[in-house]
Amino acid sequence: MTTLATPVKTDDREILALDTLTGAEVLAASRKRLRPDPRTILLVVLVLNALVMSRCGVNVTLVVMALALVSLVLSRAYAWALAYLGWGIVLVLMVVVIPVLWVNGFTIFLLTVGYWMLKLHAAVGMAAYAIKNIVPGELTAGLRQLRVPIALTVPITVLLRFIPVSLREYQAVHEAMALRGLQMGWRALWHPLRYLEFILVPLLSSCARIADEMTAAGMVRGLGSKMRPRTLKRLRFNYLDLCWFIAVSGILAAAPALSQITFLTGGFK
């Protein structure tokens, strides 16, 4: 008796697609895009965010922002990269251009707010890259291999699953408002409490329902189990991990020199 087999190429090897091939194996075989190890991404996010939120200069923050933008583009998250670039340009104008062209108390206030928002923007860019590239199942297996306690593994995994779902729910609520003729547009700036009422009430109820469903799904899949899970994709370091280590090491080495460069007239760095 013979069995028909079709080779399906994966990142590491060929899997024989027999009649007993599961849907999860087909999904893993279709993921041909190479990604860094999830542990590498977490380490990069923690190190760069700590560097940006420290007493480093604006130059270091701009370098981290540029790195986050390039990473989003290479991850094919073009919409996220475009939005990230747009907000980055606005914050750079608040910090660099406006205080130089027009100096008064209001522009100093804008400079102060823009300075801290610029740091937060760099951290958000790295977090967006992590959300785009980390697969929760692979992250769980990687953290279990590092002997990370379950009390830390479970919240991190659930958070990575919850953020994209909550964003989709926000878009669904916004579309439902438009269908009912409640879309406020620019009027939301003049009536923020009314806009929050239309958005937050259905969004919070949806998020509560999603949290219950994700908790039940996690319990069924053994997320809180003490057994070490296995992934269909072998977790190992590749050249992308090496590139990240080189980039982060270069930024850490150049951070003291970049912080000493005067960014604006008047000694602002």
Average pLDDT over residues 157-172: 80
State whether residue 9 is helix, strand or coil: strand
DSSP string covering 14-69:
EEEE-TT--HHHHHHHH--S----HHHHHHHHHHHHHHHTTT--HHHHHHHHHHHH
Task: State the chain's mean pLDDT as an integer.
Answer: 75
DSSP state of 7: E
State the Cα–Cα distance between residues 10 and 233, nearest whole angstrom: 9
Average pLDDT over residues 165-177: 82
Is the per-residue pLDDT at 263 higher than 70? no
Phi-psi domain of 104 (left: phi exceeds 0; alpha: psi -120 through 50; beta: other): beta
Q: How many CB atoms lie within 10 A of CB 243?
A: 12
- Predicted structure pTM score: 0.69
Phi-psi domain of 222 (left: phi exceeds 0; alpha: psi -120 through 50; beta: other): left
Is the per-residue pLDDT at 130 higher than 70? yes
Residue among 176, 87, 173 nearest 128 (CA): 87
Token reading at 196: 């929050």
Lowest average pLDDT, out of 11-25, 43-57, 140-154, 243-257, goes to: 11-25
Contact 95, 72 (CB under 8 A): no
State the Cα–Cα distance between residues 12 and 32, nearest whole angstrom: 10
Q: Which has more pLDDT, 264 or 60?
A: 60
Is the per-residue pLDDT at 211 higher than 80? no
State the Cα–Cα distance between residues 181 and 226, nearest whole angstrom: 50
Query: How many H helices and E strands in the chain?
Result: 10, 2
Per-residue pLDDT of 4-33, as tens digits, reads 444 444 444 443 333 444 444 434 444 556
Contact 6, 25 (CB under 8 A): no
State the Cα–Cα distance between residues 264 and 247, nearest whole angstrom: 26
State the Cα–Cα distance between residues 202 and 252, nearest whole angstrom: 44
Residue among 180, 179, 164, 98 nearest 131 (CA): 164
Contact 13, 233 (CB under 8 A): no
Under the banding of pLDDT at 50, 70 and 90, the label for residue 60 is confident
State whether residue 101 is helix, strand or coil: helix
What Rg do the C-alpha atoms of the chain give, in angstroms? 23
Contact 140, 58 (CB under 8 A): no
Per-residue model confidence (pLDDT) at position 156: 77
